[in-house]
Chains A and B, each alone.
Chain A
């Protein structure tokens, strides 16, 4: 158990809908990262927040957005969902954003878009 929690574990929805994925980092960690894992794209970095501020952006679609709240939990919002958005979404956290920090991954949310 990494100490990172994600809810829900599974999510099934329809195209065009909007969903919110939630992540609670390890106690004391300030950085939160979101990744998408799919069969065709592999593991891809989406976005990073550090202490409430956006720190880095990766291959995140405009239909997706995220935020980190004052209590450091984070939410990833996915809207106008398409079939291709079906994937496993991981949240990871680290103590700081220093290069030596290990990122600890949560159990993931499996999103299925029908």
Chain B
């Protein structure tokens, strides 16, 4: 059974600081997704990573994928309050169907 683990599960950081969220998964896959969820809201797609070594950046967020280590990272640069949300990674091992999600990382950026 595929397991997807994120850490940390809770992250409180100061504005302007950098930090990394880690996503480990247990089965070979070269498709990994990052989503953002605001409280009481739906999931918003952030990144789709489709191959080993893939790196994508959008604003203060950068995601990378190492399929050999079964690890993805979401790096936050110079955090701002607007980044406060829960971030999920999800892995797809069945050709574009089911996603298996991590537990989510609840990020709070303090002014």
Complex partner residue of A48 from B42, B98, B103, CB under 8 angstroms: B98
Question: Is the CB–CB distance between A102 and B95 below 8 Å?
Answer: no
Question: Is the CB–CB distance between A100 and B48 below 8 Å?
Answer: yes
Question: Is the CB–CB distance between A42 and B101 below 8 Å?
Answer: yes
Question: Is the CB–CB distance between B88 and A43 below 8 Å?
Answer: yes
Q: Does A103 sit at the interface, judged by CB under 8 A?
A: yes
* Assembled-state Cα–Cα distance A96/B98 (Å): 13
Chain B residues with Cβ under 8 A from A35's Cβ? 99
* Assembled-state Cα–Cα distance A31/B41 (Å): 22
Chain B residues with Cβ under 8 A from A56's Cβ? 94, 97-98
Binding site for A on B (CB under 8 A): 31, 33, 35, 41-45, 48, 50, 88, 90, 92, 94-101, 103-104
User: What 20 new A-B contacts, CB under 8 Å, besides A43-B90, A100-B50?
Assistant: A2-B44, A33-B97, A33-B98, A35-B99, A42-B104, A43-B88, A45-B100, A55-B97, A56-B97, A56-B98, A92-B43, A96-B96, A98-B96, A99-B31, A99-B96, A100-B48, A102-B33, A103-B45, A105-B35, A108-B42
